[in-house]
Amino acid sequence: KKEYKLAEPLFIKVAEFTKKNLKKHPFYYSVSCTNLGNIYYYQKKYLEAESSYLKAIEIEEKYSNSDLSNYRSTLNNLAHIYREQERYSESEKVFIKALDLLKKNDQSNTLNYAFLSNNLALLFEEQGKFFEAEENFFKKNEIEKNLFGDKDPRYLESLNYLGEFYYTNNKY
């Protein structure tokens, strides 16, 4: 945990500086808030992490998603915080928002989309929503098959996860 104690004040300093110069540096403020949120998340300080992520998301939305990858990543991390706290409906909404963001930016056939679909599938599985989980696992598999081909180890690993889903949910 010492590394968090060293990193946290640096991210706070950057966030404070870039907030003062927000119009010049919205991207840096957003990233510093996300980094700070990550540190809090890893320490299970969920309220602080949520606050930091929400600040980053607000900036990304206000300044027209200046960095799509940071925005998507921050949404994903916020959804995980909600999931950790069993705030499932909030988590689902944030995952769907991230997926919609990628769709809107013609990125629905990317690894990022597959990754988010997988995370949403895991959320649904955790809630016992097996049809929705299966649907999202299929999306992930289809994307990876299209990107890599049906003999690539990454696609085969994806099929293995789907098999595990069926096995653990007694769908032999």
Task: Give the model's pLDDT for residue 149.
Answer: 96
Task: Give the model's pLDDT for residue 36.
Answer: 94
Interval 45-91: pLDDT, tens = 999 999 999 999 999 888 865 568 889 999 999 999 999 999 999 99
**One-character DSSP codes across the chain:** -HHHHHHHHHHHHHHHHHHHTTTT-HHHHHHHHHHHHHHHHHTT-HHHHHHHHHHHHHHHHHTT-S-HHHHHHHHHHHHHHHHHTT-HHHHHHHHHHHHHHHHHTT-TTSHHHHHHHHHHHHHHHHTT-HHHHHHHHHHHHHHHHHHH-TTSHHHHHHHHHHHHHHHHTT--
Burial of 47 (0-12, 13-18, 19+ CB in 10 A): exposed
Percentage of residues in the chain with pLDDT exceeding 70?
96
Interval 94-116: pLDDT, tens = 999 999 999 998 999 999 999 99
Interval 113-150: pLDDT, tens = 999 999 999 999 999 999 999 999 999 999 999 999 99
Average pLDDT score over the chain: 91
Find the mean pLDDT for residues 21-42: 88
- Are the C-beta atoms of residues 123 and 92 closer than 8 Å to each other? yes
Find the mean pLDDT for residues 24-44: 90
